[in-house]
Amino acid sequence: MPEQRFRHGAVYVRSLAEYLLAEGYSQRDVFTGTAFDAELLTQEKPFAEFPDIAAFFEHAAALSGNDVLGFERGIQRDMRRTGLLSYVGLSSPTVRDFIKNFARYRRVFTDVVELDETILDRESVLSWYFRVPAKVERRQMVEFGASGILSGLEKAVQQKLRLRKACFRHLRKTNIDVIEDYLGCRVEFGAPDNAFFFEPSALDLPLATADHELYSVLRQYAEDVLDRKRRNSSALIVDVERAIAARLASGEANQDRIAREMGFSSRTLARRLEQEGTTFFRTLQDLRESLAINYLKNSDLGLGEIAYLLGYSNLSSFTDAFKRWVGESPGRYRATVAADT
């Protein structure tokens, strides 16, 4: 079976590269070690694999020494660069309509981001996630997208939007105050989902950019685009990882339980994973490795706590597994990472 592809608009990679060049970094600094080169600067509507885009944002943050580069660039981004998606959103009557249209027509711009607005009307919550394997580092991209959509909304309503709370699935130890100051609310990292909890009244604010005639035309065009657009193959591994992650700490992340939750028999799940070139055990171990590295790099959790969160019965079992993955103990790995930062 062909390898799963995760396509995403790369226009903001181009704008980020342009920003770095304007800051005085050379093209060699900006592009070396990434999947991009200077040709990107000439492309009007570039698309690329999402892991390559996310890696570029991580590279840019490391190059600049700015741990919140993605978040800050999201605030400054020009939403119109996403093309049809943004114009449908900006011509919408209200904040609520903007969000619902973004959720519906996101496929115009990306095969990766999933927005869930199913409880927006009832609880004023928008959540989202990325349909890519857990091993793909995406912290800068997640924060770029979060600040970008809020900034775009605030420009459209011409006032600050009130959030009750914001949540991110990834972990963060530094510059949390920068993010909380801009969002104006408490921010929870290491949460089950990425989510914005809006004040209910904010959702009914009218957009100054609303245009009824244009809105009607653009929505019809967006519907036509969706009808023509072929979706990539099922992101089965990502869905399995999400189901496993929800069960890890409880010790219930076994193949039979996960298969039932996904509506499969254990045998069917095994067969479908085999078609993807992997197994349930391999998917479980890959997720544990990715989460372990994330916890060690980006949190102050104790080793015993990490072992528990990953579903290990004791610290020794976690330590043995981590040595197999990385070649050194988790304690030594954390010390090495801390020394390098």
pTM of the model: 0.78
What's the pLDDT score for residue 231?
44
What's the pLDDT score for residue 131?
83
| C-beta of residue 37 within 8 angstroms of C-beta of residue 71 | no
| C-beta of residue 325 within 8 angstroms of C-beta of residue 291 | no
Q: Where are the beta strands (DSSP E) in 75-230?
A: 113-116, 125-130, 163-168, 186-189, 194-198
- Domains located in the chain, CATH noted: 65-228 (no CATH), 236-340 (1.10.10.60)
| CA separation for the pair 244, 268 (Å, rounded) | 17
- Per-block mean pLDDT, blocks of 10 residues, the chain (341 long): 64 96 97 96 87 96 97 93 87 96 83 88 94 88 96 96 95 96 96 95 96 86 70 64 84 91 91 87 90 87 92 94 93 86 63
| C-beta of residue 176 within 8 angstroms of C-beta of residue 88 | no
Token pair recorded at residue 258: 């996960």
What's the pLDDT score for residue 277?
80
Place of tokens 């298969």: 259
